[in-house]
Every structure is written in structure tokens, then in C-alpha cells.
Amino acid sequence: MNYKFLIAICASFIVFCAGCAAPVIVGVGAGTGVYSYMNGELKRAYPASLETSVAAVTDSLESMKINVEKKESDGVQTVVSAMRPDQTPVTVKLTILAPRLTEISVRTGVVGLWDRKVSELIHASIAQRLQ
């Protein structure tokens, strides 16, 4: 079975089971993956372990001059709190879906003033590092 197809199926299942509000699917296709955008969080599942994903997130944020302030992990989920140079907060949540499948959620900004474009740029940087 094609792993991209499996990821799309898993991500779709998670999106549809995640809550009441209908998510917006940003893109599906070869190499693009499945994104959902709900309540300021842009989510995507990546075919990588949690440890590899955390390293990719940290590298991506540092390369974009976004200061990582705190990392908290309970073994299943890691939350990275960061701050952009303009003092806009960035929160990245990484959750294990399977041994080599991690959901990464990026939220940039504060409630009601989320910056989706920056979240998309962060995801693009993460995806590049996880290829």
C-alpha cells in the first residue's frame, strides 16, 4: 500500500473525528499531503517519528528566526512554544499517531488574530526537512 495514501486516510479520519466544526482541507495530491485548518491550527500528518519531527520543527523555527522558548513533552505529545521577532506567539503541537506517523499542528498569533500564511510557511519548512 502506498504510504502517502495511508497517511491521507489516517489524517482524514483524525480530521473528521476531531470535533464539531467542519475543517477546511487545504490540499491533497502527490507530495502535498493533507492539511486541515480549524480554530487557527494548521494540521498535517507526516511519515516520521516524534523525535525526528521535533528536530525538524526546532530547526525550521530557528531557521526562520523564531525563538523557541519552551518544549514540553509527555511522551505522546510535545508542545513547542516560540516567539516571532515581532513578539507574535507560535505554538507547535506534535502528536504521535503511529510509530512513524506524527501529526504536527501549527498556530501563529493569538485568538482571533491567527496568521495562517506564517503557519503555512512553517509547515513548508518542516515538510522540506522531513523529506
Q: Is pLDDT above 50 for 122?
A: yes
DSSP 18-83: S-SSPPEE---STTT--EEEETTEEEEEESS-HHHHHHHHHHHHHHTTPEEEEEEE-SSEEEEEEE
pTM of the predicted model as reported, rounded to 2 decimal places: 0.74
**pLDDT tens-digit readout, 10-57:** 555 554 444 434 344 444 333 446 788 888 899 999 999 999 999 999
User: Are β-strands 77-83 and 89-98 bridged in parallel, bridged antiparallel, or unpaired?
Assistant: antiparallel
CB atoms under 10 Å from CB of 64, counted, come to 15
Q: Provide the pLDDT for residue 10.
A: 55
Q: Homologous superfamily of 3-129 in CATH? A: Kinase associated domain 1, KA1 (3.30.310.80)
**pLDDT tens-digit readout, 34-44:** 788 888 899 99
> What gap in Å lies between CA 41 and CA 109, rounded to an integer?
10
Phi then psi dihedrals of residue 87, to 5 deg: 70, 20
67 — pLDDT class (breaks 50, 70, 90):
very high
